[in-house]
Amino acid sequence: MDRKVRLRFAPSPTGPLHMGGVRTALYNYLFAKKHGGDFILRIEDTDQNRYVEGAEDYISESLKWCGIIPNEGQGYGGDHGPYRQSERKEKDLYRKYAMQLVEEGKAYYAFDTAEELEKMREDLKKAGVAAPQYNAITRERMQNSLSLPKEEVEKRLANGDPYVIRIKIPRNEEVKFQDMVRGWVVVHTSNLDDKVLFKADGMPTYHLANIVDDHLMEITHVIRGEEWLPSAPLHVLLYEAFGWSDTMPQFAHLPLLLKPNGNGKLSKRDGDKLGFPVFPLEWKDPKSGDVSTGYREKGYFPEAFINILAFLGWNPGTNQELFSLDELVEAFSIERVGKAGAKYDPEKARWFNQQYLRAKDDKVIAQELMKFESSKQIIGAKGLDYLTAVCGLIKERATFLKDIPIEGQYFFDAPSEYDEKTIRKKWKEGSAEIMKEWRERLEQIESFDDENIENQFKAFLEEKEMGIGKVLPLFRVLLTGQGMGPSMFAIAALLGKEECLKRIDSGIESLV
């Protein structure tokens, strides 16, 4: 291809951006960057009835959070603007192209009322037609410029009668195109209806605006969801009708995102039911006030979210699972995107976040935690250095940042309860005496670091001729209240000698 690679992400501001939409944006971004091309954001707001206040800002903020930054488009500028379809409509841009098709006999005026359209559908249903359509057969019996006398059409237009412009689908032809994911797609025009291209309110439909904008913006590849596959033959016919076949973009239709059980498309309802988000950011419905949680608010890192999405339909052909955005650009290939629907695995999503948490620098984690109001109450006045050390010990056991102060609460507060299972199994007659003796040994340690504590612990066991299971679980439960956790010697060193002695005394008093 001699032309510069140019791809667009063209969402409609009709509500929050679903994670499937973010995946589409991601794949477009990766393909564009892989081939040294442009990634463009275009807002397709032709359906004014479904427009939702705040949705466009939500789309932009979501892409920024994910790091999928357009280099052209709405909010970013460029030479092919405006990038919002409603603003392009104000220039009468789409009407001009719709009229071109009418004048060339490739589209026509249709004056049918809603009642007439409904009657046509009902009549066809009574005649045994399962899916009634306005097509090459039925258009001959409807109120349009193909069936009405020329004088009648001119009169209606002069009177200002409402009309739409429909494409004139050719009879008995095959529409063929090669999809980068699915291979050759062939559809017979007898299965297509005469879709509306231009509406009575002066707005283009998605189909017309989409093709005109892609052509004028010199789009070379269209990567979009599988739900648009049925529309692709119509789009191919539009490129042919305009005489743009030579510059028609290559299509790729991505597989559906499926529910965790694989039965059906992933929806918001599934997320609510199973306890995971389906939106990148929290969304508050401007009409109902209902709030839907987002991956950001749930505590996912944007890098983890991107990694999750990348693997929903694509695989690198290697065992590598963790990819930075730059590494994804390098590895991505549209040929490795599958046709079959991709099941979303919420546990795998949590695993990805866990891996990114573990890889983060302890101090960076601590600084992030210091921003949380909820964490500030737990952390108190311990300070950044102390919290950094806590993060180093706890992050292996956490999935989200917010887990750290909860999992490691004993670093900030002495336990008020003790793990019942540990006490039941390990606290025996004589245990109090053993722990008092171990306390005395701890008190004698001058340099209270984890290495010295461990050495003294081993010496203590040897002298007493005891196994580790007789002392260490009790040491842990008295200091932390828990039965499991990081290295006890590291915990004790971080808590400090005075706090350790105090907790042992308090624990023994509570348990005897």
User: To the nearest whole percent, how much of the chain has pLDDT over 70?
Assistant: 99
Q: Does domain 6-74+209-254 have CATH number 3.30.1490.20?
A: no
The pTM of the full predicted model, rounded to 2 decimals, is 0.91
Q: What is the pLDDT, as a whole number, of residue 371?
A: 84
State phi, psi for 7 to the nearest 5 degrees.
-125, 155
Average pLDDT score over residue span 56-70: 97
Residues facing residue 337 across a β-bridge: 314
Q: What is the pLDDT, as a whole number, of residue 380?
A: 65
Q: What amino acid occupies position 284?
A: K
Hey, what are 431's tokens? 């245990």
Q: What is the pLDDT, as a whole number, of residue 372?
A: 78
Decide: helix, strand or coil at residue 391: helix
* 348 and 276 Cβ atoms separated by less than 8 Å: no
**Sorting pLDDT into bands at 50, 70 and 90, what band is 58?**
very high
**Sorting pLDDT into bands at 50, 70 and 90, what band is 332?**
very high
Q: Which CATH class is domain 268-359?
A: mainly alpha
**Sorting pLDDT into bands at 50, 70 and 90, what band is 26?**
very high
Per-residue pLDDT of 232-256, as tens digits, reads 999 999 999 999 999 999 999 999 9
Strand ordering across the sheet containing 196-198: 107-110, 164-167, 196-198
Q: CA 438, CA 444: separation in Å to the nearest integer?
A: 10
* 337 and 257 Cβ atoms separated by less than 8 Å: no
**Is a pLDDT exceeding 70 seen at residue 1?**
no
Average pLDDT score over residue span 20-46: 96
Catalytic residues: 268
Q: CA 388, CA 394: separation in Å to the nearest integer?
A: 10
Q: What is the pLDDT, as a whole number, of residue 268?
A: 86
Hey, what are 389's tokens? 């050390």
**Is a pLDDT exceeding 70 seen at residue 144?**
yes
First to last CA, the chain: 81
**Sorting pLDDT into bands at 50, 70 and 90, what band is 399?**
very high
**Is a pLDDT exceeding 80 seen at residue 48?**
no
Max Cα-Cα span within the chain:
113
* 206 and 224 Cβ atoms separated by less than 8 Å: no
Q: CA 9, CA 43: separation in Å to the nearest integer?
A: 8
Fold for the domain defined by 414-512 = Arc Repressor Mutant, subunit A (1.10.10)
**Is a pLDDT exceeding 70 seen at residue 437?**
yes
CA distances from 300 to 92, 170, 360, 401, 493 (A): 44, 50, 13, 9, 31
Instruction: Name the CA radius of gyration of the chain, rounded.
Output: 32
CA distances from 419 to 73, 423, 428, 437, 470 (A): 57, 6, 15, 22, 16
CA distances from 241 to 170, 177, 236, 444 (A): 10, 15, 9, 91
Which of 392, 410, 414, 400 lies closest to 372 in space, CA to CA? Answer: 400
Average pLDDT score over residue span 383-403: 94
Please tell me the total number of residues recorded for the chain in this structure: 512
**Is a pLDDT exceeding 70 seen at residue 183?**
yes
Average pLDDT score over residue span 35-60: 92
Q: CA 313, CA 341: separation in Å to the nearest integer?
A: 7
* 40 and 2 Cβ atoms separated by less than 8 Å: no
**Is a pLDDT exceeding 80 seen at residue 35?**
yes
Q: What amino acid occupies position 358?
A: R
Decide: helix, strand or coil at residue 1: coil
* Other CB atoms within 10 Å distance of the CB of residue 285: 13
Q: CA 191, CA 153: separation in Å to the nearest integer?
A: 28
Q: What is the pLDDT, as a whole number, of residue 379?
A: 73
Q: What is the pLDDT, as a whole number, of residue 38?
A: 98
Q: CA 410, CA 247: separation in Å to the nearest integer?
A: 65
* 206 and 194 Cβ atoms separated by less than 8 Å: no
**Is a pLDDT exceeding 70 seen at residue 216?**
yes
Tell me which DSSP letter residue 323 carries.
-
State phi, psi for 221 to the nearest 5 degrees.
-140, 135
**Sorting pLDDT into bands at 50, 70 and 90, what band is 266?**
very high
- Find the range with the poorest average confidence among 349-363, 364-378, 398-412, 423-437: 364-378
CA distances from 139 to 100, 156, 410 (A): 20, 18, 76
Average pLDDT score over residue span 432-454: 96
CATH architecture of 93-198: Alpha-Beta Complex (3.90)
